[in-house]
A and B are shown apart, each in its own frame.
Chain A
């Protein structure tokens, strides 16, 4: 129990330290505490992987009271900011939420005290590892990034103390979400992450950042309202408060659990930024890149899908579950499409994140045992590869000042190591035999046996090919070899390199180790819930691993080819071309060659596709709402 409390409490202590110490000391503290968190989460793995679900009573009576007080204080803070910036929609939402919360805490459950507040099982371990390892790596990376960020953007006020304070509070809240069994606690930590995200998106203080921060806040508050509504429903259904335990609620069966499950899944959908709420995640890309890496790709949005995965057994094979899965699937298809039309690297990463979260929800919504397996696998692979990609883009942006993909031409020459890491990260996102393709493969095999699975397979097939397109053309951009480029990656800081190397190693390592992860963590978890479990066949495992090894060996062929080739310039249709690819154009002017990728605006334009997605997903959510109303009445 102490290990769980350590992971929740320790980051809070560090966070408070962050407010106090000076820049130099901060570096040491962050690095040391990152090690501590990483080791603590590994310790958790070693201690608990063989035990199934373990519950802990937290006998500390005032904990819940303190949480309520903090929530009210935060609400007042948001209220103040909302009025200050004239965001009256947010004000209305926060008032509604605070009102509902007070009604719940004071009116309905003032005298009950659910036991079994904390718990841990294999899924919690996986989430804790993601938060503990990737989260702390990103913290270390932010040290160097934020220094360069402020050196580059002198107009932005240096609020790094606040930045790192929020980062560590956020880590604590994430651990809180994945370890809490008491839904009131989950809600508390859930709201904390919302506010962390709000503060970090608005970090730069520009009007755009402020607007986007409020957009993200409003959408997440909407989810929060649904979450509280679920809790009120539970409290009214069973005044004894037993159902506030995640385990008892999920175990209570369809008739009782479906209404809170759908409401909480709605909260999950807002947090995971599925359509129609995807715009907040895209807007959140104005935040410094480590924020996007930590909150908006590898952890916080994963809390949204985490909660849906938790409720998957309730949703499995129900109409409501199918609708939620359809929201996910539609999001996957359309967000992948939009990614084709984007040239801003961070926006491509954002849409790819939205798409993958959609796919996870599609799996969890249908909720059969083999799809659960896929959903968890996707969570792991996506978190690692995507955080690596964000950090690589951040490094490139730090050095070149641009996050436009069109400016990344010839990156393999200018920043060879970063380009290689990006290459591996992207391969991890869409190429066999890396993680995401293993998941896609397993998803096809699992959907084929699920009811109406054909719809999902069709969506997966088309969405998958969109994915191939936008990653490949980006890959092509960074590896195109242009002349006379100089190497500019020498000034990247040591600790940044260390983080990037570890993440790159993880992308490959997790693919090699994934049979172990599946056997010791995912399969027992699935087994516990469904009584059956699934896996890829041993023979296919072996082939995948052989393919990975082959891929790792292939670059060695470069050694063999290093000499003995005559270099010529690229084919230019017979025009006289100078060394920097300048050629004589019409009227005797010298023109420089520039090449650009296809973006297919006409087919995949952001506005148009997003509009379609919003309509479809609101429609689906509306149907789910009507079904719920039917159940309640």
Chain B
């Protein structure tokens, strides 16, 4: 039997090493499925790795050297957030590290004085405030079901959390759409080539910096899907199936719904968080008080 601290350390290291591989693969499959939905053949599954590899060979071009700092910090704190999550740490701490990491990306976009990246940065911020309440409700909901904020305790609780938190789960799927930069919420930047503000938040990054952002995004994929796992943690098979279904759903939504304005994004995200999220938690709170005191 391995002691708990060692186990969490091993998990964290495994995340740091393997998450980019998994994330890159997910991105590759995503592109393939998307292409098939659009009636194209699509790139090879490994295309994201080729892309990022090529980015690192490019000449190092910047608008201001501080961009290096912001992008590196974005990547580092994304890894920290993910590693904390997979080592079984405190959900709230993970969320705060996650926000911190995104703030660095936003600052990086602000630091170059380009109108495109500026609007991208503003929109990215709007996205952050759109999803943050829901993501906190997710953590709070898991606490209410399992009596712990610790990821390790939540996953080992053996409770089918999804049955207690269906509303929160739907809210989280919405967060996922925003975070995976899928239509209708791909405001600040998009994986598709049809963004009206060029590449938005990433407009003024190139070469290795853009590569790092891409890698950070892979880490983010794995972390976000890890949260989906928690809802179904009682049964790993169902959990993996749920992840696949959820992700497929996101791709489907991406390819069938057009982008909305930021006003609608903000309103709908807060409406979902404010209704489904809070009502779900409220019912749980009430039940806990009345039925199982």
Point out residues on A near B: beta carbons under 8 Å.
409-410, 412, 431-433, 437, 441, 444-445, 448, 454, 457-458, 460-462, 464-466, 468-469, 472-473, 475-477, 479-483, 537, 539-540, 543-544, 547, 550, 554-555, 557-558, 561-562, 564-573, 581, 593, 595, 597-598
Taking CB as reference atom, which chain A residue is nearest B110?
A476
Quick check: A595 and B115 within 8 Å, CB to CB?
Answer: yes
CB distance from B4 to the nearest CB of A (A): 11
CB distance from B11 to the nearest CB of A (A): 15
In the bound complex, how far is the Cα of B72 from the Cα of A468, in angstroms? Answer: 21
Residues from chain B with a CB closer than 8 A to the CB of A468 are 99, 103, 125, 128-129, 132
Quick check: B69 and A555 within 8 Å, CB to CB?
Answer: yes
Given contacts A441-B93, A540-B93, contact A557 B129 (CB under 8 A): no
Given contacts A432-B97, A454-B285, A597-B122, contact A570 B113 (CB under 8 A): yes
Pick from B137-145, B156-164, B216-224 the stretch touching chain A.
Answer: B137-145
Any A CB within 8 A of the CB of B114:
yes
In the bound complex, how far is the Cα of B206 from the Cα of A565, in angstroms? Answer: 11
Interface SS majority for chain A: helix
Q: Would you list the 10 A-B pairs with minimal beta carbon distance, nearest first?
A: A476-B110, A570-B114, A432-B96, A465-B129, A461-B133, A561-B68, A465-B132, A481-B64, A461-B136, A565-B62
In the bound complex, how far is the Cα of B96 from the Cα of A461, in angstroms? Answer: 12
Which one, B96, B122, B126, B273, contacts A441 given CB within 8 A? B96
Residues from chain B with a CB closer than 8 A to the CB of A432 are 93, 96-97, 99-100
Residues from chain B with a CB closer than 8 A to the CB of A441 are 92-93, 96
Any A CB within 8 A of the CB of B256:
no
Residues from chain A with a CB closer than 8 A to the CB of B99 are 431-432, 468
Which one, B89, B125, B203, contacts A473 given CB within 8 A? B125
CB distance from A205 to the nearest CB of B (A): 40
Given contacts A476-B106, A481-B63, A571-B204, contact A595 B132 (CB under 8 A): no
Residues from chain A with a CB closer than 8 A to the CB of B118 are 480, 595
CB distance from B127 to the nearest CB of A (A): 11
Most chain A CB within 10 A, of B110, B126, B273, is at B110
In the bound complex, how far is the Cα of B198 from the Cα of A258, in angstroms? Answer: 61
Quick check: B106 and A571 within 8 Å, CB to CB?
Answer: no
Quick check: A481 and B112 within 8 Å, CB to CB?
Answer: yes
Taking CB as reference atom, which chain B residue is nearest A570?
B114
Taking CB as reference atom, which chain A residue is nearest B289?
A451
Residues from chain A with a CB closer than 8 A to the CB of B281 are 454
Residues from chain A with a CB closer than 8 A to the CB of B273 are 461
Quick check: A558 and B69 within 8 Å, CB to CB?
Answer: yes
Most chain B CB within 10 A, of A409, A437, A472, is at A472
Given contacts A444-B92, A469-B125, contact A595 B65 (CB under 8 A): no
CB distance from B6 to the nearest CB of A (A): 14
- Given contacts A462-B133, A565-B62, A568-B61, 8 further A-B pairs with CB under 8 A are A432-B99, A448-B143, A554-B69, A570-B112, A570-B117, A572-B114, A595-B113, A598-B126
Given contacts A454-B285, A550-B76, A571-B114, contact A472 B96 (CB under 8 A): no
Quick check: B93 and A570 within 8 Å, CB to CB?
Answer: no
Taking CB as reference atom, which chain A residue is nearest B89?
A543
Could you list some 23 contacts between A and B, CB below 8 A?
Answer: A432-B100, A433-B96, A441-B92, A444-B136, A444-B140, A466-B129, A468-B103, A468-B125, A468-B132, A469-B126, A469-B128, A469-B129, A481-B66, A482-B113, A483-B113, A544-B93, A554-B73, A557-B69, A558-B66, A561-B68, A565-B68, A567-B61, A571-B116
Any A CB within 8 A of the CB of B270:
yes
Quick check: B65 and A462 within 8 Å, CB to CB?
Answer: no
Quick check: B68 and A566 within 8 Å, CB to CB?
Answer: no
Quick check: B140 and A448 within 8 Å, CB to CB?
Answer: yes
Most chain B CB within 10 A, of A431, A477, A558, A595, is at A595
Quick check: B72 and A554 within 8 Å, CB to CB?
Answer: yes
Any A CB within 8 A of the CB of B213:
no
Which one, B68, B103, B111, B274, contacts A480 given CB within 8 A? B111
Interface residues of B in 267-281 (CB under 8 A from A): 270, 273-274, 278, 281
Any A CB within 8 A of the CB of B45:
no
Given contacts A570-B63, A571-B198, contact A557 B72 (CB under 8 A): yes
In the bound complex, how far is the Cα of B120 from the Cα of A329, in angstroms? Answer: 32
Given contacts A454-B278, A468-B128, contact A571 B133 (CB under 8 A): no
Residues from chain A with a CB closer than 8 A to the CB of B230 are none
Any A CB within 8 A of the CB of B57:
no
In the bound complex, how far is the Cα of B123 from the Cα of A476, in angstroms? Answer: 13
Contact mask for chain B residues 157-194; partner A; CB cutoff 8 A; 1 contact, 0 none: 00000000000000000000000000000000000000
Taking CB as reference atom, which chain B residue is nearest A555?
B69
Quick check: B270 and A462 within 8 Å, CB to CB?
Answer: yes
Interface residues of B in 69-127 (CB under 8 A from A): 69, 72-73, 76-77, 80, 84, 89-90, 92-93, 96-97, 99-100, 103, 106-107, 109-118, 121-122, 125-126
